[in-house]
Amino acid sequence: MGTQKTAIIIGSGVAGIAAAIRLSVQGFSVQVFEKNNYPGGKIYLIEKDKYKFDAGPSLFTQPENIEEIFAIAGEPIQEYFSYRQIPIACKYFYENGTAINAYSDINLFADELHKKLNEDLSATTRYLESSKKLYNNIGSVFLNHSLHKRKTWWHKRIFKALLSIKSVYLFKTLHYYNKKKFKSYEAVELFNRYATYNGSNPYQAPAMLSLIPHIEQNQGVFYPADGMVSIINALYKLALKKGVRFNFDSLVQRIIFSDRKVKGIVVNNESISADIVVSNMDVYFTYKHLLADNDKAKKILKQERSSSALIFYWGIKKEFSSLQLHNIFFTKNYKEEFEHIFTKGTLYNDPTVYVNITSKMEKGHTPADCENWFVMINAPANTQQNWQTLKLQARANIIKKAE
């Protein structure tokens, strides 16, 4: 019997832990190296004055991706993790006083847009059906196959996917596409916002992004019991069960790369060899700091940057029955907001505001009769703006809009 193969994972975010579990199941001896003293990466729990806040991602979709990892590991997911679908994916508020409940039930959602915005019932159902077809024919193929491998481009599903692409998806913007599908500016704005899911501008991004609503409105939005951090807790527990070793407070200094091959890492001035090294770090920092490949890092940095986000965590000493788990307060001028973010590189003074309130689902996340607001606005990529000043301005503008 040969020597057991080894794998090293740099970073213990969701993808890092998932990779560790998959490799462990395949027979590798796996170690995870994490610079923090806890697992989770961007997902962690903030606790202050009896308020609990999920930091990092707040929207949970496609739970089958989590279920798949437990199935591969041969472990019953119910012993680690539970979740439930929520009836209203998001609630939208507009400056004219209109409020839209985006029901997870497609027919209820179509009826809501018909009653509130006078949109044809068929307009919504047709849009979401097109979104579903686009996702199934194109999106899922490219999500599940590496575009960097030559064999991907010869896969028969790739040919089918490419043949199903309409020119409008490639050569028209998402905003243009949505204006052709809906009559009201409220519905157009609602579906425009899906471009922000990958940090894009709906007035410039291709209509191909109309596949994103399928994930939320057709497949559904879910809530993991005890918040998003429970996803990390479940995966971490599963990884330990499968023999994965975690090294916290362990900042990886570099990846050992020679003869065109990765051979291990250096951490705490110690070299550790491995057959496989997986970096769960940002790709720019991986090339810049871990591989010392400045040319590749500069090339990545020259690419157009996505938008970012500015987040506040507020303990609210009141409950608002009109709010849901996920809420969006739209700006008066959506196009101008994106002009500020992508062209001017600054925040807009009338931002679109997203508010996530987990106390709507878990009373134990706040003191009695209170709410925990995860408040987020779209922001430009960091180019060394005066963020301290911008944060103060944003806070005032958000409070003004909420009031």
Counting as low any pLDDT under 70, the low residues of the chain are: 1-2, 139-165
Q: Rounded distance, CA 321 to CA 310, Å?
A: 25
Residue 160 has what pLDDT? 65
Q: Rounded distance, CA 147 to CA 167, Å?
A: 21
What does CATH list as the number for 106-220? 1.10.405
Angle at 258 between CA 28 and CA 288, to 5 degrees: 90
Q: Decide yes or no: CATH 3.50.50.60 for domain 6-39+227-302.
A: yes
User: Strand, coil or helix: what is 379?
Assistant: strand
Residue 166 has what pLDDT? 75
Domain residue ranges of the chain, discontinuous segments joined by +: 6-39+227-302, 106-220, 304-402
pLDDT digits (tens, 9 = 90+) for 21-75: 999 999 999 999 999 999 999 999 999 999 999 999 999 999 999 999 999 999 9
**Residue 194: closest CA among 269, 255, 260, 139:** 139
Which pTM was predicted? 0.92
User: Strand, coil or helix: what is 183?
Assistant: coil
Q: Which amino acid is at 67?
A: E
Phi, psi of 231 (to 5 degrees): -65, -45
**Cβ atoms of residues 92 and 328 within 8 Å:** yes
Residue 153 has what pLDDT? 57
